[in-house]
Amino acid sequence: MFSTATLRPVPWAPPGPGDRRQASPGRRSPDRGRLAAGASQVRGDTRRLCRSGPRFGIVDGTLVDSEQVHHRALVDALRGWGIEAPDDLQRELIGLAMADTFARVRGRFARLPDYDEFVAAKSRAYLARAKDLKMRPGAAAAFDWLSRRRTPQALVSNSARALLDANLRAVGLFEADLITVSRDDVDRGKPDPEPYLRAAERLRIPPGECLVIEDSPPGVASGLAAGMTVLAWPEPDRCDLAFPPGATLAPPDALISRVRDLFAG
């Protein structure tokens, strides 16, 4: 998971009453038209954005190395129904929201239970393994560097609120004034632009001045569709992932140097 932050220091205060760290239960986007209008802003090249002060985005699976835990939780849930996950299943599901994951898995295994039971079983398995979560090497350095610069940050995730909060607690980042967007806070998850547009709205930052860091193709597509500049930062063992055109690739071991370069303009 990653955050949104300016590429230059700006005055910033904790969000007001309308920008709470998380949405109230069951909250959905009240005005998709207004969010979509933000995505229509023209996105310039990275150098122009650096001079004008864009923001930086960190997405679930990037700040917190959760992809393996998600996969193991799915394997645990499937075994409860007597199903062994094939070796290629993890790659197919990288970055997908729960509904899309269910659709893909049910397409392979007809005897899968209904959606609600699937979600409950996988979520229980994930929360049981949350203690294994760690920050991804390189992500913590970038997050801390931006924090020292007093740059606004928001976490955007395709996970449910309960799972996102468990991630943050596991790595010590569960803070009352940290702006976060979960799958429960929007009508449409990644690759739709709504999650990133929601984050920009809560930060009161134009989408065209935002920089997103993503490790999955759906997340990259979401950031690009929102009109933001995107760094694609794959896991070390996922360098063969095909990211949508328009993103800039950040090698697994070079995130902090890429971010510093962008801020240097």
Q: If you average pLDDT over every residue of the chain, what do you get?
A: 78
Tell me which DSSP letter residue 238 carries: G
> What is the Cα–Cα distance from 3 to 19, expressed in whole angstroms?
15
What is the Cα–Cα distance from 182 to 174, expressed in whole angstroms?
Answer: 14
pLDDT exceeds 70 at position 211: yes
This prediction has a pTM of 0.76
Span 136-190, pLDDT tens digits: 888 888 888 888 887 788 899 999 999 999 999 998 888 878 889 999 999 999 9
The pLDDT-based confidence of 265 (bands split at 50, 70, 90) is low
The pLDDT of residue 39 is above 80: no
Architecture of domain 68-131: Orthogonal Bundle (1.10)
CATH architecture for residues 17-66+133-264? 3-Layer(aba) Sandwich (3.40)
Domain positions in the chain: 17-66+133-264, 68-131
Q: Distance between CA 2 and CA 228 in Å, rounded?
A: 14
Say whether 73 sits in a helix, a strand or coil: helix
Instruction: Please tell me the distance from the alpha carbon of residue 233 to that of residue 253, in angstroms, as a whole number.
Output: 9
